[in-house]
Each structure stands twice: as C-alpha cells, then as structure tokens.
Structure 1
Amino acid sequence: MTEAVSVENLSVVFDEFKALDAVSVDVAKGESFGLVGESGSGKSTLLRAVAGLTAASEGTIRVSGREVRGTRRDKAFYRAVQMVFQDPYGSLHPRQTVDRQLMEPLAIHGIGDGERRILKALDEVGLGSSFRFRYPHQLSGGQRQRIAIARALILEPSILLLDEPTSALDASVQAEVLNLLEEVRRDRGLTFIMVSHDLGVVTHMCERLAVMQNGRVVERLSSADLVAGRIAEEYTRNLMVASKGFRREAVAQSA
C-alpha cells in the first residue's frame, strides 16, 4: 500500500488537556478515509494537525512518505494538501469577490494562467463564469461551499482534508455537495480524509474509517463492516444508533 498520509503515535495537548492521545492512522493513496466520533472525540484536531493548523506534542506525521513538523509548512505541502472547512459562511472573505478569492492561492504560489484555471475550477464545481464577480453574501450556503471546494482544487492538490464539509448545509444541498466531491475524487484520483459525525455520510463517501473517542482511536473498520454490523466496540454501535443514516432495528439485530 502506497501511503498518502501516515500518522504515528500523535498526541496534541491544550493547556494540560490531551486532545489526541497516541493516535496512529494510515491512509492509502487514492483512498477516501473517514474519521468519526462524537463532539470532542479528537477527529477535527487530528485533521488540523495533519493540515499544520494545530501543533503536535508528540508523534510523527508523514505526507507522501515525507515527514512534516510543526505548523510551518512549505509551499510544496500546500500545493499537495488542501482543506475544506465546515462553515462555508466563515471560510470565505466577505469583502472579496469569488474571482479574487480563487486568484489568491495562484498568486501565493506563483502560478500563472489564472483566467483558465478559475474558469475550469468554477466549471468543475458546477458553477459558471457568472459567479466570478459575486460576493459571498450573494451566494447560497451550497454555492459558498462549492466556491470553497473550487479554491481548494485550484492548486491541483493530491490530498483533500474535509472537516464536516456539508454539516452546515440543508439535507438536499448536502447530497449535491457530497456527490460533487465524490465525482471530483474519482476524476482526479484524490485522497480524502473526511471528518464527520454522520455515519451515513461516511459510509457513502469512505472505504475505511477510524472511530474516535476521548482523543483515541477505539476501532478501525471498513464501511462495509459498519453497514453489516460487524462491530467490536459498543461505542461504535451507539454512534450507529444515534446517526440518522442507520435504522435502530438493524443495530439491535447485529448485537
């Protein structure tokens, strides 16, 4: 297995609180991998540590076989790894047009051919050129998240980190954005690491997942095992019951 991301014995401490406790996760190149658990389980902290937004106290992170440290990463890292955040309202600058927000990463990385890349990125996320000079307040929540995805894709990364990318959207819009992400992954051969509290979303999008509780990984399993009820941990079973993507009767039968 060629690993896109490898995390080994990773710990993160905030003011003596251990948000991550010796977590190890391996994600293969081209795989879509899920991180699930209740609020405070550490799943978003793990994603932010991989992205370089949160400093690790112990352990190692490797991306495409190369170890990365701290929160200062070079431009090559950000060309390869991009993140889409939960809140489409907060992730875009309210006073900048879509065009400017898509041009900014190209300017930072010294990439030319901006006109073509912007039009391609908008088309890829299902928005036309008419959206280029709109401001975020002129867009719906789903359109804003599509712009955030376009901004992540415009550098042509190989890895996307997705932190609850649809949880702030209406159910019908969620499905559209999830289908868009799956299509993009397939077309580009991307690696996804997706954080979600919704097991229905994870089983739809991901091949494998890690279940997190209190900063630790308590179970690793495939989406097929999860759907079939082949579960070792009671905590995972309780997550299934709480998730709208599963029927309580199916969970009870697998007990």
Structure 2
Amino acid sequence: MSAIVSVENLSVVFDDFTALDNVSIDVFAGESFGLVGESGSGKSTLLRSIAGLAPPAGGTMRITGRELRGRDRDKAFYRAVQMVFQDPYGSLHPRQTIDRQLMEPLAIHGARDGERRILKALDEVGLGSGFRFRYPHQLSGGQRQRVAIARALILEPSILLLDEPTSALDASVQAEVLNLLEQVRHDRKLTFVMVSHDLGVVTHMCDRLAVMQGGRVVERLTSDDLAGGRIDEDYTRNLMVASKGFRRHAEPITQGAASPSRP
C-alpha cells in the first residue's frame, strides 16, 4: 500500500536553528496519524511544512504520489488538503460574517454550488443555517472552531491537517469537537494528520503516531502500544506522565483525603 502523505528526510531551518532534522513519516489513506512531543519538538513545523507555510531546506514531500516543491501549492493541493489551526479566535476574520468566510474558498476555486456546500458544511458541524450571518465575536470558542472545521471541509478535501485543534478550548468543549472530527472522518473517509501534546487525545483519535523530540522522530508507535505501555523510549514515558489527563486507572482516594476538584 502506498502512502497518501509521504515525508522523507525533511529538514527545516530558521536562520541558524534546525527545526526539523531529517524527518520521515508515511500516512495511509483513511488513517488518523498523530504527531506528539513537547513544545519546540517540531511537530507543528512538520504540519506547516506540508501545508507550504514553512519552507524546507531538504528532503521530499509527496501527497497522493505527487511531489511538493518549496512553498508552492496549487489549487489542486488545497482542494485535497486543508488545515485546521489551534486558535479559533485568530483563524477567523473578525469583521467578516461566517457566510462570507465560508464563501471565500468556494469563490477562489470557482465552485458553482456554494449555497448547497455552505448549508451542508454548517449542518455537518452542528451549527445550522442560523449561524451564517453572525460574526466571530458572537460565537463561543467551540462554535468558532466548528466554523473553522466547516471552512476546511467546504472544498471536500481528502486530507485534514489538524494543529492542536482543541487545546485552546475549555475541557467541556474539547470532547465535543474531538467527537465531531471523528464522526466527520468516518463519514467522509478522510485522512488526518494531527498534532497534539496530549497523549490521551492521540490515543483516542489516532491509529499510529510519531513521537518527536528536538526536530527528530524518536519513536513510532500504534495507539494500542501507547495505551498498553509498550514503549521503548524514556522520553515517551515522560510525555505520558506529563500529559494532562493521560491516566488509564484512577488513583484511589485515601480515607480523610480531600476529594479532587473538578476542572
């Protein structure tokens, strides 16, 4: 089976800093692939390089067998690949209605069935047509991220690049958005490449993952390996300890101890 996303020996350098050092990953069609690591490990840089936002210094990238060169991405690429960013507050234009922001990619790509696509995308993310003519400041953080997901889906891509899509949201909203993404992937048979610092999220969402440290991939695992503790690298074990909410067993509360407060 050939990979739908293939990265081989990719390097990215900013001034004198090497952000990615000979990174290689393969992601197969319909798969959800996770990139995890501490801040500065290079996981978001890898995602942005695939999207054309971080120019490579070396290596090759291919989408559906087609090689990507430098920052150049044509319309065919953006019809196939869309990105959802971490911050739902910064990814939407504050002075444009939701309708206009959903219409913009359709106008760029010459889609003639914009009305149908807008209604379908909003319905798919659980918002409905009543949100079309609102402004971002009139929406909650979770609703804004749903709009960002709708905008990514509106061109009907086959691959979504997800950069910490729930980390800026309240804990009560995170699960709703993750469940939405999982449902969308199932319904549309999408391929995900997902960055997260939370190993619990990655275990729930992803089939396989690459653990990154210092711009390199230090370990490759399945989500079952991670949940079962079948890990080779101490760095990955430390990430498990540090990752918020990654607990397979609740710790018993000793008699007389205060009950833990809810987040």
Contact 1:32-1:206 within 8 A present in 2 as well = yes
The separation in 1 between residues aligned to 2:247 and 2:143, in whole angstroms, is 31
SS in 2 for 1:19: strand
Q: Which residue of 2 aligns with 1:42?
A: 42
Equivalent in the alignment of 1:234: 234
What are the superposed Cα offsets for residues 29-65 of structure 1, whole Å, 9 maximum, x if unpaired? 1100000000000000000000011100000000001
How many aligned positions are there?
250
Measure, in 2, the Cα distance between the counterparts of 1:181 and 1:2.
24
Report how far residue 245 of structure 1 moved.
3.0
Which residues of structure 2 form unaligned runs of 5+?
Answer: 251-263
Moved more, 63-72 or 35-44: 63-72
What is the aligned partner in structure 1 of residue 92 from structure 2?
92
Correspondence for 1:222:
222
Using the size of structure 2 for normalisation, the TM-score is 0.94
- Tell me which amino acid in the other structure corresponds to 2:73: R
Counterpart secondary structure, 1:59: strand
Letter matched to residue 49 of structure 1: S
Contact between 1:241 and 1:248, CA under 8 Å: does it hold in 2?
A: no
Structure 1 residue 30 corresponds to structure 2 residue 27: no
Alignment of 1:77-226 (within 5 A): 77-226=77-226
- TM-score (normalizing by structure 1): 0.96
Cα distance between partner residues in 2 of 1:28 and 1:113:
30
Q: Tell me how large the CA RMSD over aligned residues is.
A: 1.1
**What's the secondary structure of 2:10's corresponding residue?**
strand
1:5-34: CA deviation from partner (whole Å, max 9, x where unpaired): 000000000011000000000000110000
- Confirm or deny: 8 A CA contact 2:8 2:23 kept in the other structure: yes
Kindly provide the amino acid, as one letter, of the partner of residue 93 in structure 2: H
% of aligned pairs identical?
A: 84
User: Higher helix share goes to which structure?
Assistant: 1
Distance across 1 between alignment mates of 2:161 and 2:140:
23
Inter-CA distance 183–43: structure 2 relative to 1 (3 Å threshold):
same
Give the SS at the match of 2:4.
strand
Cα distance in 2 between the residues matched to 1:159 and 1:218:
25
Distance 1:238 1:212 in 2: 13
Equivalent-residue separation in structure 2 for 1:6 and 1:160 (angstroms): 14
**Structure 1 unaligned runs (5+)?**
251-255
Higher Rg: 2
